[in-house]
Amino acid sequence: MAKSQVSEQRHQAKKRFGQNFLVDGNIINRIIRAIAPLPGQHLVEIGPGLGALTSHLVDKECSLDVVEIDRDLAEKLEAKYAESPGFQLHLIDALRADFGSFARPDVPLRIIGNLPYNISTPLLFHLLAYKENISDMHFMLQREVVDRLASPEGKKTYGRLSIMVQYHCHVEPLFVVPPSAFRPAPKVESAIVRLRPRTRAVTANDPGFFSQVVNVCFQQRRKTIRNGLKSMLKELPLNGLSEFDLNRRPETFSVDEFVAIANALSALR
């Protein structure tokens, strides 16, 4: 999905970039109210398109970095907003962008974006690497992705994405956006979600190993945790996990339980 614009007629949507342009003024205003930008804040907009959201953000006396991969759109944005105070455009793939380089001391980043469906998950994981620099993130995503992000354990929508994002962030679904709000209209509903980086009471001793454990368990989500872990950790004594019922399926374990399992296994290595 993910390019916002006021009038899509000036630019032909490009399938390779997953462009669907947000044109519903009521939805645009609702997103801006949800973000509630204030003077002096540092905003980063991913996929600004022709500026449906950008035009509302540059007037808020904020610093605004925009990340755009489409050279044609970037030229239009530069021509339109170059004279706006605090505006800076970066012609780059968001998956390759160093978001830490945008940060300034004592001014955390607020990330905003209509994310293309085909890169939304890897981009979320990319951004989580910079969570120490971020105060919050507001994204337009496919509704199915938002459902997975916010899913509690025990649901079919609960999985690796749910656990990894909830480990790092508070997840707050805000509202659904219908296909009719875009041109061209996508075939699925979208939704706005707010992510706020969090500090957990229970933390992974080895974040990379924690991610590996979650990943291998959900590659075989119909199996029990015991069977899933055996496929990856054949040399480790699973009796070191006696406090857990390893005959449960992975979708029944909470985020904190997965952290505890990963920490226990890490100590056995």
How do 182-183 and 169-177 pair as beta strands?
unpaired
Give per-10-residue mean pLDDT for the chain (269 aa): 42 54 93 96 92 89 94 93 93 96 93 90 96 97 97 96 98 97 90 95 93 92 85 63 87 96 86
pLDDT of residue 246: 86
- Please say whether the beta carbons of 268 and 236 come within 8 A: yes
- Under 8 Å CB-to-CB from 26, ≥6 apart: which residues? none
Q: What are phi and psi of 210, to 5 degrees?
A: -55, -50
Are 109 and 44 in contact, with CB atoms under 8 Å apart? yes
pLDDT on residue 239: 65
Q: Which residue has the tokens 């199996």?
A: 223
Among candidates 171, 15, 39, 31, which has minimal Cα distance to 114? 31
Please report how many Cα atoms fall inside a 13 Å half-sphere around the Cα of residue 134, on the Cβ side: 27
pLDDT in tens, 162-207: 999 999 999 999 999 999 999 888 889 999 999 999 988 889 999 9
Q: How many CA atoms does the CB half-sphere of 1 hold within 13 Å? A: 30
* Domains recognised in the chain with CATH numbers: 3-197 (3.40.50.150), 207-268 (1.10.8.100)
CB distance 67 to 94 below 8 Å: yes
Whole-number pLDDT of residue 7: 42
Q: CA end-to-end span of the chain, whole Å?
A: 43
**Could you please report the per-residue DSSP string of 95-116?**
GG--GGGG-BTTB-EEEEEE--
Going by C-beta distance under 8 Å and a sequence separation of 6 or more, which residues neighbour residue 201?
A: none
51 Ramachandran zone, left/alpha/beta (phi>0; psi -120 to 50): left
pTM comes to 0.90
Q: What is residue 168's predicted lDDT score, i.e. its pLDDT?
A: 97
